[in-house]
Amino acid sequence: MTVVSNTSPITNLAGIGYLALLKDLYGTITIPVGVFNEMARIGKVVPGALEVQTLPWINSCEVQDLDRVRELRSVLDLGEAEAIALALELSTELLLLDERPGRQLAQQFGLSVTGVLGVLLEAKAKQLIGQVKPLMEQLVSDMNFRIGQPLYQGVLELADEV
């Protein structure tokens, strides 16, 4: 399965100690060079920065369609723009992206998109984790991850944790 990721799913899962879920669920993750640079060369240590440089199952790839990246940059940050462009180039089965504007744009291009909460739901469905709720709470408290109440409740319902 070809999976491309933006920065936030990696940093958020690494920040709560569950980055390995990506390997367990998808095998190899591909990130665009812009995402790699966002994490590895940011000047401050962010969760997942060391992992994207050392783990053999996270690969970085140069985006070829720079015109598309420039077009997407008018509304998205570089990491999101490159992630969408790379996902289109690779005809990826899944794009990991958390931010709503990027997700909506990716879906307009016909890409299948999920974010960190979708990863947690899939991990629970495959019995890789026992519960989603404590990990969502950890994302909020430790990573300042924003989850609106309707989404929070919806995820709990999908996870059968209500």
DSSP 94-114: EEE---HHHHHHHHHTT--EE
Q: Number of structural domains, the chain?
A: 1
Domain containing 63 equals 3-117
First to last CA, the chain: 32
pLDDT digits (tens, 9 = 90+) for 91-131: 999 999 999 999 999 999 999 999 999 999 999 999 999 99
Examine residue 142 and state whether it is found in any structural domain, yes or no.
no
Give a yes or no: residue 156 inside a domain: no
Residue 107 counted as domain residue: yes
Backbone angles phi, psi at 32, to 5 degrees: -70, 155
Task: Tell me what the mean pLDDT of segment 24-32 comes to.
Answer: 98
**Residue-level pLDDT at 38:** 82
Residue 127 lies in a domain: no
What is the spatial distance between Cα 143 and Cα 39, in angstroms, rounded to a whole number? 15
Asked whether residue 103 is domain-assigned, the answer is yes
Unique residue bearing structure tokens 């050392």: 54
Backbone φ and ψ for 13, nearest 5 degrees, come out as -70, -40
CATH label of the domain that carries residue 78:
3.40.50.1010
pTM of the full structure: 0.94
Q: How far are the Cα atoms of 40, 50, 73, 134 from residue 45, in angstroms, in the given order?
A: 8, 8, 25, 25
